[in-house]
Chains A and B, each alone.
Chain A
Amino acid sequence: MNTVEVKGLVKTFDGHVRARRGRSDQVRALDGVDLAAEPGEYLVLLGPSGCGKTTLLRTIAGLEQPTEGEVLIGGNVVNGLPPRVRQIAMVFQSYALYPHKTVRDNIVFPLRAEGMAREEREKKATWAAELLEIEPLLRRKPRQLSGGERQRVALARALVRDPAVFLLDEPLSNLDAKMRATARDELKRFQERVGTTTIYVTHDQAEAMGLGDRIAVLEHGRVRQVGTPQEVYDDPSDTFVATFIGSPPMNLVKRDGVLVGFRPEHLLPVENVVTEPRLTMPFQVERMEYLSGDRHVYGTITGIGAQTRVIARLPATVATPLEAGETHAFAVPSERLRFFDAESGNRTAPVPIADAAIGDAPPGDAP
């Protein structure tokens, strides 16, 4: 039995300006979403802003009612039920701590709403505070806390309810870059210790790859792909996922109705690609960036399809000297090539491609 499941979820919002004039201008924030989170799973909803990921989370929480479809928690349909009976806990992007209450009162608030006895809820609050190492802060008010401390208080408040599922809405986006890395690690360890199913919304692929057991990539209210971080990275189901995940994104080269895709780190100077078979192509270097030990090489490739600007990511171990303006033979292991339909963007069967010999299409002559 899945902890959380949504079936055929559709959510439409009225467009703001025209709705008044009686013309329907609806925005489909969710456009038929089917998704399930297994017990104990860390499921990340990833997508660009406006893709519907927060709407999906809020619909699961009960803060929004779906236009169509069902939300199931613990196997029961919870459509129409208010948030408080759904056995969920949510951490908001802003943490939404009650500013007038102390940390302790913030944490016990959901327990008091449940009507738990005083002693028991004090015990629970202390337990949660110990787990998240915020005991010294219990008497403070939220505005006396740093961003990371607020986040832990929000987690403690979510934790004490013993929810069936945690819903986290971009909880790291209000932290500075350094805190974010630490907090990400803490979040993961915390969830592993507690073992509660977690649904996590983010637009940051590094968070998604680092935290998720599985990642659901959303775009325009549709789920594009669900899979482990490795699956969505290595085997993207369409060009959206291929270019949204990965930094720099996957290179796509057009060739006779298909797009040939390969990751920047697999495009290396030919002498560094030892695996056979491999696809060789001439690469005209335009510009280089030196980023945390890697070389990002920007340039144009010809020969395997249309002339295309691509990026190659050379790890520090590749010492091949490269100069802007020179043309060098680069290669990609054939097993690393991915093929997409040029029309729909979906994955298609591999197409055999012959090596493009250097000198076949000199860069100056290319169309």
Chain B
Amino acid sequence: MTHARSGPKPAVATAEGRRVKAGLADRDGFLAWVMLLPSVVYIVALVGIPFLLAIAFAFSDVTTGDPSFDFVGFRNFDEIFADGVFWRALRNTLVFTLVSMVLIVLFGKILANILVADFRGKWFVRFLVLLPWTTPVALSTISWLWFLDSIYSPVDWVLRHLGLIDANIVWLGQPGTAMGSVIAVQTWRLTPLAAVIVMAGLVAIPRDIDEAARIDGAGFWRRMFEVTVPLTLPVIAVAGLFGAIMTFTDMTVPYVLTRGGPTHSTDVLASWAYFRGIEGGDVGQGAAIALFLFPLLLAGAIAILRTVRRWEAQ
């Protein structure tokens, strides 16, 4: 009896005491929802719904001229598969993404080393390194348009005066150089991001380990490839993943520089979907093309994240 009486009483007392002190801000469950809600709304409204819409459109005959929704099955897919430009855009996307990613990671690693190095005037170099990342894309791509102009290009002017070329190169007018230019500009844009990510990995390496390697007689390259790179591999992979995703889904650079030309040689899936769906007016086909970004992206993201987890587990 005494046990039953004395049991609940203190519990009530503490519960009352807590109600007096603890406000809404003390309740983790409530806080979690409040903090998460904006991003949930944002993702549902701006990612989830458009994604479902794209799937719906891909199986419809919606055009900009006739927005009425009629289910047409796989007709849109049959049509884009039959069109050689789709396969070309798919191949271009892969080349564009892979080459850019490799270059972004490579230059990102080099720039990260410069960012962490200690020397006189490093603040100015850091500012320069981060500049491409902070410049608006539309603005910087226009200056690149001037750099790559067929008549007024300062690059050509320098090369000509050095005697390396006889006549101006039409950078954006030939398939090979056009793709090269698009990749170069994309690399230039995303390298600072990769550099900052890799830098975070570099500063996380204990200084002792680098010093131990120095004492052990390892030179610059041995320290780089046997100590620094293996230890920063997870962050390098993250930088590569970011670079790949931001390149794969992006159409800004090809769109501004070449509009996918000459003759679709720099068309990527995103730009081709845009030209087909919005400018061409066939929303159904545009959506079907854009859907192809999804499985490839998903596979890439899963592959890289799994590798990262395996390295971390080791």
Contact = CB atoms under 8 A, between A and B. Distances in A.
Contacts of A84: 214-219
B216 A100 contact: no
A180 interface: no
Interface string A97-113: 11110000000011001
Interface of B: 206, 208-209, 211-219, 222, 226-227, 230-231, 314
A157 B214 CA distance: 13
Identify the interface centre among A62, A83, A88, A157: most chain B CB within 10 Å of its CB.
A83
B217 A110 contact: yes
B208 to A, nearest CB: 4
Contact of B314 (A83, A90, A97, A141): A141
A110 B230 CA distance: 17
Interface string A273-291: 0000000000000000000
A89 interface: yes
Interface of A: 61-63, 82-84, 88-90, 92-94, 96-100, 109-110, 113-114, 141, 157, 161
Contacts of B211: 63, 83, 90, 92, 96
Give the interface SS of chain B, mostly helix, strand, loop or mixed: helix
Nearest to A169: B208
Contact of B208 (A62, A92, A141, A157): A92
B312 to A, nearest CB: 11
Given A94-B206, A98-B209, A113 B215 contact: no
A113 B218 CA distance: 5
Contact of B222 (A90, A100, A113): A113
Contacts of B217: 83-84, 110, 113-114, 161
A99 B231 contact: yes
B208 A96 contact: yes
A-B pairs with the 9 shortest C-beta distances?
A: A84-B217, A96-B208, A96-B212, A110-B216, A113-B217, A100-B230, A113-B218, A83-B215, A90-B215
Contacts of A114: 217
A82 B208 contact: no
Given A94-B206, A96-B206, A100-B231, A82 B214 contact: yes
Given A100-B231, A113-B222, A141-B314, A89 B206 contact: no
Contacts of A62: 214-215
Contacts of A94: 206, 208
B314 A61 contact: no
A109 B218 contact: yes
User: Interface centre among B206, B214, B215, B230, by most A CB within 10 Å?
Assistant: B215
A96 B214 CA distance: 12
A114 B222 CA distance: 11
Contacts of B222: 113
Nearest to A99: B231
Contacts of B212: 90, 92, 96-98
A95 to B, nearest CB: 8
A6 to B, nearest CB: 18
Given A63-B211, A98-B209, A161 B230 contact: no
Given A113-B222, A157-B216, A100 B314 contact: yes
B204 to A, nearest CB: 12
B231 A113 contact: no
Contact of A96 (B209, B218, B219, B230): B209
Contacts of A157: 216
